[in-house]
Chain A
Amino acid sequence: MAIVPTSHVLIVSALLVCIGAFGVLLRRNLLFMLLSLEVMLNGAALAFIGASARWQQPDGQIFVMFIMAMAAAEVAVGLALFLQIYRQLSTLDADALDVMRG
């Protein structure tokens, strides 16, 4: 079984985080922003897996379990919020939702 070098894992992980971050910043639809956020989380989880394999320790894998659980909860809460927002304001455009400006 070919061993993937840790650096490759980290590069892919960094790419995932960056793609997710750009998605959050550039997308205006809240749903897509949430999706991008999930991509970022996956980047972080990948880094944990790589590190866990590198040092032969279970900690990283346990953390990934946490991340997945948290992501599920986040999506649940986020989607519920989006539903409410859409009901109240009839839009999911993040830039239109600036009622909290100072």
Chain B
Amino acid sequence: MPISMMIAAPLAGAVLLALSAGRADKKVAGVVACAALLVSWVAAMRASLPLFLDAFPGTAAATSNIALERTAGGAAFVSEHLYTWFAVDRLSVDLAFKLDALAALMVLVVTGVGFLIHLYAAAYMADDPDYTRFFCYMNLFVAAMLTLVLADNLVVLYLGWEGVGVCSYLLIGFWYRDPANGAAARKAFIVTRVGDAALMIAMLLIAVELGTLQLDEIAARAVDSWPLGGVTATTVAALLLIAALGKSAQIPLQVWLPDAMAGPTPVSALLHAATMVTAGVYLIARTHELFLLAPAVLGTLATLGGLTAFLAACSALFQNDIKRVLAYSTISQIGYMFAALGVAGFGAAMFHFLTHAFFKALLFLSAGNVVHCIHETDIRRMGGLRRSRALPGTAAVAAVGAASLAALPIITSGFYSKDAILWATLQPPFVRPGLLLLLLVTAALTSLYAFRWYFMVFSGPAGPATEQKIHRPRDLMLYPLVALAAGSLLVGFLEMPETLGGYQAVSEFLHPVFAAAEQRYGLGAGSVFGTIEEIHRAEITLQAVSAVIALLGLMLAYHWYVIRPPWKERIARSPMGTSIAKIVAAGWGADAMYEIVFIAPYRALARWLHHEPVDDAIDLLTGSVRLSHYLLVLTQSGRIRTYAAGIVAGVTLILLSWLWS
């Protein structure tokens, strides 16, 4: 019951708001939407409680009356079977939900962060005439994401997967009166559809090959019947990878996310932090057994993740839109998670998802406050907002968010999660020093663009947009930010590296989910560094390096964007500087590439088809008939003498041929 409650609450909220058809009072609509999320959050905590008690016995005095089940591998989970959806031959698909540690982490973030974003949106959207419609979509979005996360089989997962796709389309195109927003929504929907199609094919392939779609059964049967690196395993894993790439906006399907900024800011926050883009990470973590059976795909995953992290970080550095910087940073941070998944660092990836949800929601909502108060999105026209009397709170929490994104050492959660990912790249059996190097360079860039963003908006001299009188944001637009800021600072302490106390709550909590795979493939067993002391020395060196890199990024950002040395401006204004910036800012020309490779040929084809080439073939037939008609008409002169001449000529010819033969 608590599991379906989690989904039912936001779903009921969405239905209620949809049925009110805009007649509901704004206050009522806001309360309904937020209450639905609150109920969902409480249900999530209630359902996850036995899992916590199981993972950390004796740490809490609470008890739970929810029955706990165990998989063959010993992982605890709570399940709920509603009814059998359909059963065909051997294949039976149930509408069933399952909450294990991985799902628990996800639903707590989705409902918790989602609730805070809803609270914020209740104030942010207060002036919008389509308030009810907005919250209807938002509730539906959360319900779809929860369905995806809690699904016990691939079909239900697919239901949620498509659900978030539709809701993201509806919300990105929320202000549909501007055609540009509609175009952005369609782009998001179509690009993610590429991944959806791959997921569908993977699902059918699994159903045919393994005869089941239940997630645990898939893993068990795949391990039993598919050889390591076999063709089927590789195909299925590759298809799942494409699905995840589409949903999580990774190279080569990253192009939709920067344009998704067309939606209202709370939508961006929800999309980037809690729902939608993390679905790909979740899918891979959920089907990790299949990926481990296909080392080639796993390697591709790591490479693509690292590459995306780096390239998107470069692009983020050259953005001038306050939200586009954050959009590219999301692509980059999800790239980190993908890299971690690619080296089988599932715990590290999920931990980074957790911290990222907090600081990315925080950053987006801070940006929302800024845009709401000064009605400007170009950060070159901002500056000095820290000193403004209207936005001191926003400036403070934005600093926390930027610091967490930049992974400033010790105090921020981003430091711990990023460090966990960096460390995962050195764990056998997937040791990838090249990836580590790439991620370290990216870390420097991350710190640089995060603080560029902060300094250009909140520090330095006031820009044209920030000189005028700025009105204060509503109080309700600040409280959720404080909660998120606290999360951004504190969540990191859930997972301390060995050298800093070694208290690893998240990994320990998630451990049972991945335990079977870890044992089978010897993940995390042994180390390239030999003895415990050497391991610790290596780990602390890595931490020191990443800390220094983050601080260097901060200092460089301060030097470049607050002090603004003349030589830097000269380079930026030089023809080469501007052209490089233009290319990188356009996401390395990915859109232009798609334009040439797919869109232009498709348009040409459409133009050609517009003239009905099939009709041309038919017209050829009718044309030839018509032509022969005209030729035959010439013979029908109606003159009797002509006909007689024809008869005589024919008879003469016959007689002559008869004579000569």
Known contacts A21-B648, A25-B648; decide if A94 and B633 are in contact (CB<8 Å): no
Q: Which one of B638, B644, B645 contacts A98 once the chains associate, using CB atoms below 8 Å?
A: B638
Whether A102 sits at the interface, judged by CB under 8 Å, is: yes
Known contacts A21-B648, A102-B632, A102-B633; decide if A28 and B638 are in contact (CB<8 Å): no
Known contacts A21-B648, A25-B648; decide if A95 and B633 are in contact (CB<8 Å): no
Task: List residues of chain A with CB within 8 A of the CB of B635.
Answer: 102
Whether A97 sits at the interface, judged by CB under 8 Å, is: yes
State the CA gap A25–B645 with chains docked (Å): 6
State the CA gap A101–B645 with chains docked (Å): 16
B640 and A25 form a contact (CB under 8 A): no
Known contacts A21-B648, A25-B648; decide if A95 and B641 are in contact (CB<8 Å): yes
Which residues of A, 43-89, contact B by the 8 Å Cβ criterion?
Answer: none
Task: List residues of chain B with CB within 8 A of the CB of A25.
Answer: 641, 644-645, 648
A99 and B648 form a contact (CB under 8 A): no
Whether B611 sits at the interface, judged by CB under 8 Å, is: no
B636 and A102 form a contact (CB under 8 A): yes
1/0 contact string of B627-647 vs chain A (CB within 8 Å): 000001101111111001100
State the CA gap A101–B641 with chains docked (Å): 13
Known contacts A102-B632, A102-B633; decide if A97 and B645 are in contact (CB<8 Å): no
Task: List residues of chain B with CB within 8 A of the CB of A33.
Answer: 640
State the CA gap A101–B636 with chains docked (Å): 5
Q: How many residues of B contact A (CB 8 A)?
A: 12
Whether A24 sits at the interface, judged by CB under 8 Å, is: yes
Minimum C-beta distance from A47 to chain B (A)? 14
Whether A100 sits at the interface, judged by CB under 8 Å, is: yes
Task: List residues of chain A with CB within 8 A of the CB of B632.
Answer: 102
B641 and A94 form a contact (CB under 8 A): yes
B648 and A94 form a contact (CB under 8 A): no
Q: How many residues of A contact B (CB 8 A)?
A: 13
A36 and chain B: residue at smallest CB distance = B644
A28 and chain B: residue at smallest CB distance = B641
State the CA gap A53–B637 with chains docked (Å): 44
Minimum C-beta distance from A43 to chain B (A)? 13
1/0 contact string of B195-227 vs chain A (CB within 8 Å): 000000000000000000000000000000000
A102 and B645 form a contact (CB under 8 A): no
Task: List residues of chain B with CB within 8 A of the CB of A99.
Answer: 638
Interface pairs A-B: 4 shortest CB-CB: A102-B636, A101-B638, A98-B638, A100-B638
State the CA gap A25–B639 with chains docked (Å): 11
B639 and chain A: residue at smallest CB distance = A98
- In the assembled complex, 21 residue pairs joining A and B whose CB atoms fall closer than 8 Å, in A order, are A21-B648, A24-B641, A24-B644, A25-B641, A25-B644, A25-B645, A25-B648, A94-B639, A94-B640, A94-B641, A95-B639, A97-B639, A99-B638, A100-B638, A101-B636, A101-B637, A101-B638, A101-B639, A102-B636, A102-B637, A102-B638
State the CA gap A3–B621 with chains docked (Å): 66
Minimum C-beta distance from B604 to chain A (A)? 45
Minimum C-beta distance from A57 to chain B (A)? 24
B645 and chain A: residue at smallest CB distance = A25
Task: List residues of chain B with CB within 8 A of the CB of A101.
Answer: 636-639
A97 and B641 form a contact (CB under 8 A): no
B632 and chain A: residue at smallest CB distance = A102
State the CA gap A95–B633 with chains docked (Å): 17
Task: List residues of chain B with CB within 8 A of the CB of A95.
Answer: 639, 641
Task: List residues of chain A with CB within 8 A of the CB of B639.
Answer: 94-95, 97-98, 101
A97 and B640 form a contact (CB under 8 A): yes
Task: List residues of chain B with CB within 8 A of the CB of A94.
Answer: 639-641
Task: List residues of chain B with CB within 8 A of the CB of A28.
Answer: 641
Minimum C-beta distance from B398 to chain A (A)? 88
Which residues of B, 588-639, contact A by the 8 Å Cβ criterion?
Answer: 632-633, 635-639
Task: List residues of chain A with CB within 8 A of the CB of B637.
Answer: 98, 101-102
Task: List residues of chain B with CB within 8 A of the CB of A98.
Answer: 637-639
